[in-house]
Amino acid sequence: MKHLSRTFDTQMRRVPALIRRLRHRLGEKDVHAVRVALRRSRSTALALRGVDPNPAWRDVGRMSKRVFQALGELRDVQVSRARIDSLVASGVTSPMRLVQAIAHRELAACRRARRAVENFDVASWRRLAGQLEHRLTAIAPNDLAARSLVWAEVQDVSQCHADALQRPTTERWHALRKALKRLRDDVACFAPSLHAAWDASLRELQALLGDVHDVDQLRAFVEDARTHRDTSADWTTLQRALARERRTRLEAYRARTAGPNSPIRSWLRDVLPRDGSVSALALAQLKAAAESMGADPHRVDAVVRTAEHLFGESAGRIRGRKDEAHAILTAAAALATVRPARASRSAKSAARFIRTLAVPPGWTPQQMTLVSLIVRQTRRKNPAARGRRLGTLTPADRAMVTTCGDVIRMAMNSAGPT
């Protein structure tokens, strides 16, 4: 747990010092360093928003958005300029119009970046870092809840990879590159035991797609700078060189990720528990969500165990889908112990809290809706068998909600008051 807090806090607290250096000079290394520190902070905060609905996690993205985007634009231009220099060094002639266009863009990007850096609220960022440091208690590095967050990122990479191979557009390759960056950041923070084994392949794939992105940016600059009247051979030679480099990088990426030895397949296997149970990751994530909202972990375990025991006696009221009903019951039992930090602490506010959570591994949004309805049933003194939300359910789902609600209410009463 100390590692998770230290990793996130280090990235957050690096930002103010790096921002001060940028206010003196927008050096390429410092621009990149600030971007990396902000990206890692934003990736961690985005992942934790799924288990902790505290609005402070959203503030990380909101406060850093403008400077992150402005420095990203500047970074793209700086990398394009450096790539032009390397092409010239290899014998490719660069048209003067392109050099001038990139220089002009760099000046404009510098002005926007400097304004964003000057307007960045360092004091508020420091306060936010201190506030969030104390919320990193529900998840410990390498535990099942932490692995569930990594699992979600691996799934995102896998989906983006499939999309890019199916329809290889510039936008889809870029989306895959960003997903790989988020995965690399999150596995370093949440699962350091996996990071050691994954980092080399993550770096390799990210570097290949990073080169593709850089080439795509430079090709866009070439298209903007070249006029339809300019038919000199320099433009054609440059475009061919860029197309050849892009093709080489994509072929290398496809070869590296093809077949049974694909690192993406390995990541999907490695992140699961030893028994390969996705449901264990899901329950751990929902328990972490309950603890992040102040639920006592010992009471959570007691309520879940009692509810599982009582469910065996009531399962006959649910026709079929008993495995699914059992998973939904355990999730609802864990979340039913949460007491929202609001004056009313009503059933509605408890269900609303659940609807803000990320869908756990292997689950569907509809199943999370059932969990929220069950928790709402457990909070009512006289739970209704019918209602506006219950009326939209199928008879089987309605029976599951009422049965699980009754079971959890009895389990909570058995466990005693909060």
The three-state (H, E, C) secondary structure of the chain, written as one string = CHHHHHHHHHHHHHHHHHHHHHHHCCCHHHHHHHHHHHHHHHHHHHHHCCCCCCHHHHHHHHHHHHHHHHHHHHHHHHHHHHHHHHHHHCCCCCCHHHHHHHHHHHHHHHHHHHHHHHHCCHHHHHHHHHHHHCCCCCCCCCCHHHHHHHHHHHHHHHHHHHHHHHCCCHHHHHHHHHHHHHHHHHHHHHCHHHHHHHHHHHHHHHHHHHHHHHHHHHHHHHHHHCCCCCCCHHHHHHHHHHHHHHHHHHHHHHHHHCCCCCHHHHHHHHCCCCCCCHHHHHHHHHHHHHHHCCCCHHHHHHHHHHHHHHHHHHHHHCCCCHHHHHHHHHHHHHHCCCCCCCCCCCHHHHHHHHHCCCCCCCCCHHHHHHHHHHHHHHHCCCCCCCCCCHHHCCHHHHHHHHHHHHHHHHHHHHHCCC
Residue-wise pLDDT for 44-96, tens only, equals 999 998 888 888 999 999 999 999 999 999 999 999 988 888 888 887 777 78
Question: Is 42 or 92 the better-scoring residue by pLDDT?
Answer: 42
* Cα–Cα distance, 109 to 88 (Å, whole number): 23
Look at residue 59 in the predicted model and tell me its pLDDT.
95
CB within 8 Å of 99: residues ≥ 6 apart: 84
Closest CA to 35 of 82, 75, 83: 75
Residue-wise pLDDT for 226-254, tens only, equals 765 566 777 888 888 899 999 999 999 99
Look at residue 355 in the predicted model and tell me its pLDDT.
80
For residues 299-322, average pLDDT: 78
Look at residue 105 in the predicted model and tell me its pLDDT.
92
Domain boundary assignment for the chain: 1-138, 140-271, 278-415
- Whether the per-residue pLDDT at 384 is higher than 60: the answer is no
Average pLDDT, rounded, for the chain: 86
What whole-number percentage of the chain has pLDDT above 70?
89
Look at residue 1 in the predicted model and tell me its pLDDT.
43
* Inter-residue contact 125 to 11 (CB < 8 Å): no
- Whether the per-residue pLDDT at 184 is higher than 80: the answer is yes
Residue-wise pLDDT for 313-372, tens only, equals 665 566 667 788 888 999 998 888 876 554 345 556 667 778 888 888 889 899 998 998
Look at residue 2 in the predicted model and tell me its pLDDT.
47
- pTM to 2 decimal places: 0.86
Look at residue 118 in the predicted model and tell me its pLDDT.
96
Look at residue 343 in the predicted model and tell me its pLDDT.
39
- Whether the per-residue pLDDT at 310 is higher than 90: the answer is no
Angle (deg, nearest 10), helices 192-225 and 96-119: 130
Closest CA to 325 of 312, 341, 342: 312
User: How many other CB atoms are found less than 10 A from the CB of residue 206?
Assistant: 17
Question: Is 68 or 100 the better-scoring residue by pLDDT?
Answer: 68
* Cα–Cα distance, 164 to 141 (Å, whole number): 31
Look at residue 323 in the predicted model and tell me its pLDDT.
81
For residues 396-416, average pLDDT: 85
143 φ/ψ angles, rounded to the nearest 5 degrees: -80, 175
Look at residue 22 in the predicted model and tell me its pLDDT.
94
- Whether the per-residue pLDDT at 376 is higher than 80: the answer is yes
Residue-wise pLDDT for 250-285, tens only, equals 999 999 999 888 999 999 999 988 777 788 898 889
Instruction: Give the torsion sign (CA, 36, 132, 10, 20).
Output: positive
* The architecture CATH gives domain 278-415: Orthogonal Bundle (1.10)
* Confidence band of 418 (pLDDT split at 50, 70, 90): low
Look at residue 67 in the predicted model and tell me its pLDDT.
96
What whole-number percentage of the chain has pLDDT above 90?
43
